[in-house]
Amino acid sequence: MNKPTSGTQKGGSTKRQATREKRRQQQRKQRMYIVLGIVIAAVAVAALLIIPSLLPAEDINTITPVDRPNVDGKALGDPNAPVKIDVYEDFQCPACKTYTTDIEPRVVDDFVATGQVYYVFRQFPFLDDRAIGKESDQAANASMCAAGQDRFWDYHDILFANWNGENQNAYSDKRLVAFAEALNLDVQAFNDCFESNAYEDDINADLNLGKSLGITGTPSVLVNGTLVSPGFVPSYQDIADAVNNALNSSGD
């Protein structure tokens, strides 16, 4: 025959049940907060991805196309020239904009146009690696689609003319298409190329080649395979000295 439960035992059991119930309620709240946090984070990420595509393209800085010597896709000059310059750039890179504005034209005029240098642009998109938006990758993608219409260098120029900082929506998809329209490209062909990322393998080939050469930043300039001013943005004089040394070594 069972013994009657004492009041103390009943009271202790009731307290334990209350404690367990309180713990369960706390756990349910914690799970609810976690789920709510995940939902909010997902909505925020979705907003960051979607909102730029909904924003207007805003004003576009147009350019006047510049004549360059012996344009062939991303390359300039004579492929049989004694010296080759490879320049690795990310279109979002502020130093690349400075290089393009202040240094590259002098290098082209002094060495490419004179037949001494073969000049090749290399894609090195990396400044969006930790960003939600992929402006470096998409700018590279768009520039290659322009190259498919023999307008790489014009698109290169309009990208830098519209640069306004890293990951600031200067190169949203809508603006990249607007640049193509401003250059009077075949927009349907551009869009088909852009949306399919048709040149992804070519971009990755440049990127992987640069990494294999130890490149970690942009702009990086190589003269006959040797990096000019490692760790620093090269000046015009740095490049000119490297080219002249290479010319002297080749006997020209």
pLDDT in tens, 192-206: 999 999 999 999 999
> In the 8-state DSSP scheme, what is residue 126?
-
CATH code for residues 75-250: 3.40.30.10
Higher pLDDT, 231 or 87: 87
Mean pLDDT over 217-246 rounds to 96
46 pLDDT above the threshold of 50: no
Please give the pLDDT value at position 36: 62
Mean pLDDT over 11-19 rounds to 75
Q: Please, what is the average pLDDT of the chain?
A: 89
Please give the pLDDT value at position 110: 98
Mean pLDDT over 229-242 rounds to 95
Please give the pLDDT value at position 10: 63
CA distance 235 to 237: 5
Please give the pLDDT value at position 27: 80
Please give the pLDDT value at position 55: 46
pLDDT in tens, 64-80: 999 999 999 999 999 99
The bridge status of strand 83-89 relative to strand 117-123 is parallel
All structural domains of the chain with their residue ranges = 1-54, 75-250
Please give the pLDDT value at position 19: 79
Please give the pLDDT value at position 16: 78
pLDDT in tens, 165-176: 999 999 999 999
C-alpha separations of 219 from 8, 42, 60, 159, 194 in Å: 79, 35, 25, 15, 24
User: 142: closest CA among 95, 88, 182?
Assistant: 182
Q: Lowest mean pLDDT of 100-104, 131-135, 248-252, name the range.
A: 248-252
Using pLDDT thresholds of 50, 70 and 90, give the confidence band for residue 5: low
CA distance 26 to 12: 21
Single pTM value for the model:
0.78
What share of residues in the chain are helix, strand, coil (percent, to 5)?
55, 10, 35
Please give the pLDDT value at position 161: 97
pLDDT in tens, 177-187: 999 999 999 99
